[in-house]
Chain A
Amino acid sequence: MFKRFRSLFRALTRRSDFEDGMTEELRFHIEEYTDDLVRSGMSQGKAARLARMELGSLTNVKGDCREAFGLHLFDEFRRELHYAIRLLRKTPGFTATALLTLAVCFGANLTIFAVIDSVLLRPLPFPEPGQLVTLFNTYPRAGVERDGSSLTNYYERRDHIPAFASLAIYRYGTAIVGEAGSTEREQITQVSPDFFSTLRLGPVMGRTFAEEETTYQTNSVAILSDTYWRQHYNADPNVIGRQLRVDGRPKTVIGVLPPGFSFLSSEARLYFPLASRPQDRMPLERHSGGNVIQMIARLKPQATLLEAQSQIDAQNATLELDDPQAKMMADAGFRSLVVPLHADHVAAIRPTLLLLEAGVLVLLLIGAVNLVNLLLIRSSGRIKELAVRQALGASRGYVISETAVETTLLTLVGGLLGLAVGAGGIRLLAALGYDRLPLGARIAFDMRLALVALVGAIVMGVVLAAPIAWFSLRRHLGTTLQTESRGGTSGRSAQILRHSFIVSQIALAFILLAGAGLLGLSLERVMAVSPGFQSDHVLTGQISLSGKSYPDAAARLAFIENLMDKTAHLPGMLFRGVVNNVPFSGNSGKSAATVEGHILRPGESARGHYSYGVAGDYFQAMGFSLRAGRFLTAADSRRPERVCVVDEDFAQYYWPKTSAIGQRLWEGSQQGKDLEAFTIVGVVGGVKQAGLTEDQAQGAIYYPYIFRTDDKMFVAVRASLAPESLALTLEKVVRQVDADVPVNDLRSMETRIADSLVARRSPALLAGLFSGIALLLTAIGTYGVLSYAVAQRRREIGVRMALGAQPGQIRRQFFSLALRMLAGGTLLGLLGAWLAGRAMQTVLFHVPPLNLAILAGAACVTAVVSLAACLLPSERAARISPMEALAED
């Protein structure tokens, strides 16, 4: 087989050698034969004639020889290609429309495919990625869907779950790296020693972390990413053993990761051991995950997810037997779930992406229908030509392959243009914030995409050719040849097909339009939700303090108080405050609290509440509303009495009838000592903590900062002018307090809220864009089909006008055709829009699948566009002059 390809290839590449050789060989034959005949006594002329005659027609022999090499297919292809190019150049209007349609449809599809491919399809970049799973604790009845895993979980499960080949935990974080004065904040990940072996991808240089390096005394080692190693160590091959300062402490480099190593969407460039104390690993800490530490595991080759899940369930059941909190956890619906790592990571964005993919596929369908219609019209203009050629001996196969060559040529060029559009589309996606999607950093314009475009273009070419070839071949040759007109009449079935294509186009465009409308309405409803505070004029930024300089709560409080003092008299800063996490920062954790005197009702479980430590004038800075009592003040962190503020959701839940002021509660899931009780001194308005679409009011508790500190915190500043204008000032003041502390993630609250809507806004925008294109394509399609109908019936119209028909009647005739197609399309579209709306429910916010206003709007827009498209052709029909029409042909 291979040899045959090689000989064909050689014949193709040295085509002239092949032809010359063949000619020479045949001439040699004739001359030798002639000589032999002459020698046997024949005259020269007669001999030459006989020699030629016996060989037969040279053209035929040569053709047969070429065919023996498989060359004829290429010759034919080349001829068809030239013919197709000539045809396309003869009709530049058609060619440009078709190419533009293809470019836009392919471009949109390639863009969305690039996202789908990198986020959903392409496996994680580790060996056997399908075996990787993640585990997390869930307490659904306490309102905590996801609580990560605890250190205890890790130490209890390691080597005890037979379905897992290995198990590891990690924690995302940041660290301040570098010598004093030239520090940089770096994304880091702390990992257990088996993290890299679980991924089966570890350091290419040096070693991974050891079990002994998981204590706070021994964790001074680091593994560098390839980019960090190149940037900061100039790719030094002797980097192992060198020191770097992390949060003021020295760490020794023990390994370098391979280039391109990336774990999920993490941008971490440094990896440290996840250190802990023995008491953090005790059974009592089993439920203290707090969504900070995450667990991954690798299934053994034969093990299934179900096995792993049942083994985890069984182990949990055994371990909880002697857990004092077991009853409460069971009431809260506690379980540890095992889910595939990749699917879990992209679960939230998956429905939206699939929706967009459906949208672009509809767009492609509309484009394809448009092209088939335009091609059908064009081919019926050539009916007679084709019939003549068939009568002269062109085979059916020839007609089919000629059509396929032409459509594939179109789609290939269209695909090439589509790649350019797609490249632009990917840029647009980046502008819409798609690189911030899970795994969004992988979205790229690459060979894979080019290959998809190529295959898609070829498939499209063949698909487009099928109906055209079918229609060209099924006509009766005799009748076609007998008709007098040059174009020939197209059959009634072709006309019905063209019209039903328009109907389906209108329906599809309607569905897209209605879908985009639903997304837009949903976005509008989300944006109309009040976050619960005055989000304008608030600047927020994150600060993290290193454990070395700020070992305890008192030191952190001192830092904050110093900062508050320094900013007190700065112009433009009305109120300043500090909190562990601002709303919409994406990392608000919930924890348990116990209310004095609250007895759990049957079926009720302890609830997780958003819990924060606040300092300064946090409430005023964020613009919270005070419902009762007072806000916390800076002094509350310095007073012996323990006080706190709760939000109205919390107050409403526990004291629906009485006032919350003066009530007492404890942190944690048990009633503590009297001295540790917090007295509620104020009730503030409820706030959307995790996002505007958060439906469940989970309740929040605000403690004075000293009681709930963290090495990370957010500063919030209410500004009298544009909040962004204060960013530089804030950074400078923080540097004045401590030169080694940078401020990160500086954004106004309004920006944070807007950014939290990226997964809703950009699909709505894209869907709007798609439906705009769909409408344009539908208009082109309607225009094309009606123009053709008018042109074809020119003569008939001329006759009717000569017999006294009024232009208005003619105009009405075409208008009513357009109206009928519009009505059919809209009816079908209504059905489709209802189905699409139901399929979209998961991504919609408080929007029913059928919304009258949207449907009416979509119907109006479709009607206006398609009637406008038929205006020109019907006007042209009405202006036909009977004299001219009858004189033609």
Chain B
Amino acid sequence: MGKTAELLPGTLDMLILKAVSLKPLHGYGVLLRIRQISRDALEIPQGSLYPALYRLEHHDLIAAEWGQSENNRRAKYYTLTAAGRRRLREETAGWNRLASAMAAALNTTSEEV
């Protein structure tokens, strides 16, 4: 697991919102999807996944509904709400700004000062 990066605080919510925005998912599905879209680079601590999901549901950013899983079992599926979609957009923009600013700052060479 040498390639996995530590999650920055606050980024788990963002990743969950992103994962759910692509397709309604159950909790385990969210875990797999994050692994997939980060190309196995990000490892989610499983213990904090469900509290995060419950918090997002409580704040009305995602909605939960019971449905059937691929192998015909009852599972709780999460979908993005309108408020969640808005939040994801804001957070993505904010993250991109931060990331490019950080990249620019860290790539500064002595000539540019």
Interface residues of A (CB under 8 A from B): 3-4, 7-8, 21-22, 24-26, 28-29, 31-33, 54-57, 60-61, 64-65, 67-70
Contact = CB atoms under 8 A, between A and B. Distances in A.
Nearest to A25: B76
Given A3-B60, A4-B58, A8-B58, A55 B47 contact: yes
Interface stretch (B16-24, B49-57, B95-103, B105-113): B49-57
A622 to B, nearest CB: 82
Interface in B29-70: 31, 45-48, 50-52, 54-55, 57-60, 66, 69
A70 B58 contact: yes
Interface centre among A3, A25, A60, A65 (most CB of B within 10 A): A25
Nearest to A18: B54
B20 to A, nearest CB: 15
B54 A4 contact: no
A776 to B, nearest CB: 52
14 contacts: A7-B60, A21-B76, A25-B26, A28-B26, A28-B69, A29-B27, A29-B31, A57-B47, A60-B47, A64-B48, A65-B50, A65-B54, A69-B54, A69-B58
A25 B27 contact: yes
Given A7-B57, A7-B58, A55-B47, 16 more contacts: A4-B58, A4-B60, A22-B50, A24-B74, A24-B76, A28-B69, A28-B75, A29-B31, A33-B28, A60-B47, A61-B50, A64-B51, A64-B54, A68-B54, A69-B58, A70-B58
Contacts of B73: 28, 31
Contacts of B48: 64
A60 B75 CA distance: 21
| Secondary structure dominating the interface of B | helix
Interface of B: 26-28, 31, 45-48, 50-52, 54-55, 57-60, 66, 69, 73-76
Contacts of B76: 21, 24-25, 28
B46 A55 contact: yes
A653 B51 CA distance: 94
Nearest to B45: A56
A360 to B, nearest CB: 46
A56 B51 contact: no
A171 to B, nearest CB: 65
Contact of A56 (B27, B46, B66): B46
A165 to B, nearest CB: 51
A564 to B, nearest CB: 89
Given A7-B58, A33-B28, A70-B58, A61 B51 contact: yes
A32 B60 contact: no
Contacts, number: 64
A65 B48 CA distance: 9
A4 B46 CA distance: 25
B60 A64 contact: no
A461 B58 CA distance: 32
A55 B31 CA distance: 12
Contacts of A54: 46
A588 B73 CA distance: 93
Given A24-B74, A25-B27, A28-B26, A64 B50 contact: yes
A192 B71 CA distance: 88
Nearest to A21: B76
Contacts of B55: 68
Contact of B28 (A3, A29, A69, A70): A29
A57 B47 CA distance: 8
A21 B52 CA distance: 16
B103 to A, nearest CB: 33
A605 B54 CA distance: 87
Given A4-B58, A55-B46, A28 B51 contact: no
A26 B54 CA distance: 12
A33 B27 CA distance: 11
Among A3, A28, A32, max chain B CB count under 10 A is at: A32
Contacts of B58: 4, 7-8, 68-70
Contacts of A60: 47
Contacts of B47: 55-57, 60-61, 64
B46 to A, nearest CB: 5
A419 to B, nearest CB: 37
Contacts of A64: 47-48, 50-51, 54
A731 to B, nearest CB: 76
Contacts of B57: 7
B72 to A, nearest CB: 12
Contacts of B50: 22, 25-26, 29, 61, 64-65
Nearest to B52: A68
Contacts of A31: 73
B52 to A, nearest CB: 8
Nearest to A55: B46
A8 B54 CA distance: 11
Contacts of A65: 50-51, 54
A68 B66 CA distance: 20
B51 A68 contact: yes
Contacts of B27: 25, 28-29
B17 to A, nearest CB: 15
B16 to A, nearest CB: 13
Contacts of A21: 66, 76
B94 to A, nearest CB: 23
Contacts of A4: 58-60
A19 to B, nearest CB: 12
A792 B13 CA distance: 58
A32 B54 contact: no
Nearest to B83: A3
A717 B69 CA distance: 101
Contacts of A3: 60
A22 B45 CA distance: 18
Contacts of A22: 50
Nearest to B56: A68
Contacts of A29: 27-28, 31, 46, 50
B14 to A, nearest CB: 17
A239 B74 CA distance: 71
A24 to B, nearest CB: 7
Select the residue from B28, B45, B47, B74 with max chain A CB neighbours within 10 A. Answer: B28
Nearest to B47: A56
In the A-B complex, list the 8 residue pairs whose CB atoms are closest, starting with the nearest: A56-B47, A64-B51, A68-B54, A68-B55, A65-B54, A32-B28, A3-B60, A55-B46
Interface centre among B54, B74, B76 (most CB of A within 10 A): B54
A118 B20 CA distance: 60
Contacts of B46: 29, 54-56
A24 B31 CA distance: 17
B113 to A, nearest CB: 46
A8 B59 CA distance: 10
A69 B46 CA distance: 19
A16 B30 CA distance: 25
Nearest to B32: A36
A4 B83 CA distance: 13
Contacts of B75: 25, 28
A3 B51 CA distance: 18
B44 to A, nearest CB: 10
A67 B51 contact: yes
Nearest to B48: A64
A3 B58 CA distance: 8
A32 B28 CA distance: 7
Nearest to A64: B51
A64 B48 CA distance: 8
A28 B28 contact: yes
Nearest to A57: B47
Contacts of A68: 51-52, 54-55, 58
Contacts of A69: 54, 58
Contacts of B26: 25, 28
